[in-house]
C-alpha cells in the first residue's frame, strides 16, 4: 500500500480534519475542540499535521500550548491532542508516524516537554510517562494518574513543575 504523506495543515484543510476527527471519535466534540484550538492564540500551524493519502486527509495530530502554573511562574508548554486516524486506516502505523513527526518538530523548536491526556496503552511507546513523575499535575485531579502523561525533550528542565491549566479551547462543547 502507498505510504501517506505527512505535512502541516494548510488553510482549507479544516473541514477534512474535522471529518476525520469525528469519524475516529464517533462524535463531534473533539472535532469542535480542534476548531477551537485553531481559532485560539495557542495554535501553532506547523504543529498541526495531517496524513494524506491519494489527496485525502486520513489522519491528524495537533500540538498546542497549555499553561503550566508553577511557583512563581506560569509557562506555556505543548500538549498533544486530539489526534485521529480514520477508522479504516487505523493500526497501520499512521498514528505513530504522525506522533513521531510532531515530536520531532517540537524538539526542533526547542520545546522542553510535550504533554498528553490519552490512552495509557498507546503513548508510553513514544516515551511518554505519567506526568506526575515529573512533578506535573493533571488539569483535573480526578484523572487516573496513568492517563495524563509527559515526554521530556532535549531542553527539558526538571524545574518545570506545576499544575496544568487548559485554555478555553479545550473546554469546547
Ligand X SMILES: CC(C)(COP(=O)(O)OP(=O)(O)OC[C@H]1O[C@@H](n2cnc3c(N)ncnc32)[C@H](O)[C@@H]1OP(=O)(O)O)[C@@H](O)C(=O)NCCC(=O)NCCS
Which region, judged by CB under 6 A, interacts with ligand X, from 1-9, 37-45, 92-100, 107-115? 92-100
| Per CB under 6 A, 164 contacts ligand X | no
By CB under 6 A, what part of segment 5-34 binds ligand X?
24-25
To the nearest whole angstrom, how small is the minimum distance from the Cβ of residue 16 to ligand X?
Answer: 15
- Closest CB to ligand X among 125 and 142? 125
Dihedral pair phi/psi, residue 135, rounded to 5°? 80, 25
| Per CB under 6 A, 156 contacts ligand X | no
Give me the residues paired with residue 78 across strands.
65, 114
- Closest CB to ligand X among 29 and 39? 29
- Site for ligand X (CB under 6 A): how many residues? 18
From residue 131, alpha-carbon distances to 35, 120, 125, 165 in Å are 26, 12, 15, 14
- Closest CB to ligand X among 81 and 152? 81
- Closest CB to ligand X among 8 and 23? 23
By CB under 6 A, what part of segment 113-152 binds ligand X?
118-119, 121-122
Q: Which residue of 94, 106, 114, 138 would you call a contact of ligand X, by CB under 6 A?
A: 94
Dig out the grid coordinates for 67 from the structure: 499553561
The rounded radius of gyration (Å) of the Cα atoms in the chain is 15
How many Cβ atoms sit within 10 Å of the Cβ of residue 91?
Answer: 8
Note if the bond before 15 is cis, omega within 30 degrees.
no
CB-based burial label for 122 (10 Å; 0-12, 13-18, 19+): middle
**Binding-site ranges for ligand X (CB under 6 A):** 24-25, 81-85, 90-96, 118-119, 121-122
Amino acid at each position: 500500500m502507498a505510504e501517506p504523506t505527512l505535512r502541516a495543515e494548510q488553510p482549507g484543510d479544516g473541514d477534512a480534519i474535522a471529518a476525520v476527527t469525528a469519524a475516529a471519535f464517533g462524535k463531534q466534540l473533539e472535532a469542535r475542540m480542534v476548531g477551537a484550538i485553531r481559532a485560539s492564540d495557542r495554535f501553532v500551524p506547523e504543529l498541526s499535521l495531517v496524513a494524506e493519502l491519494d489527496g485525502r486527509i486520513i489522519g491528524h495530530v495537533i500540538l498546542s500550548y497549555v499553561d503550566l502554573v508553577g511557583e512563581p511562574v506560569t509557562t506555556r508548554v505543548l500538549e498533544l491532542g486530539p489526534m485521529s486516524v480514520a477508522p479504516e486506516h487505523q493500526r497501520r502505523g499512521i498514528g505513530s508516524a504522525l506522533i513521531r513527526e510532531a515530536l520531532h518538530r517540537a524538539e526542533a523548536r526547542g520545546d522542553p516537554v510535550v504533554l498528553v491526556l490519552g490512552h495509557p496503552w498507546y503513548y508510553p511507546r513514544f516515551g511518554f510517562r505519567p506526568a506526575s513523575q515529573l512533578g506535573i499535575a493533571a488539569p483535573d485531579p480526578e484523572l487516573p494518574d496513568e492517563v495524563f502523561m509527559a515526554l521530556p525533550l532535549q531542553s527539558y528542565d526538571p524545574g518545570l513543575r506545576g499544575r496544568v491549566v487548559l485554555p478555553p479551547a479545550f473546554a469546547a462543547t
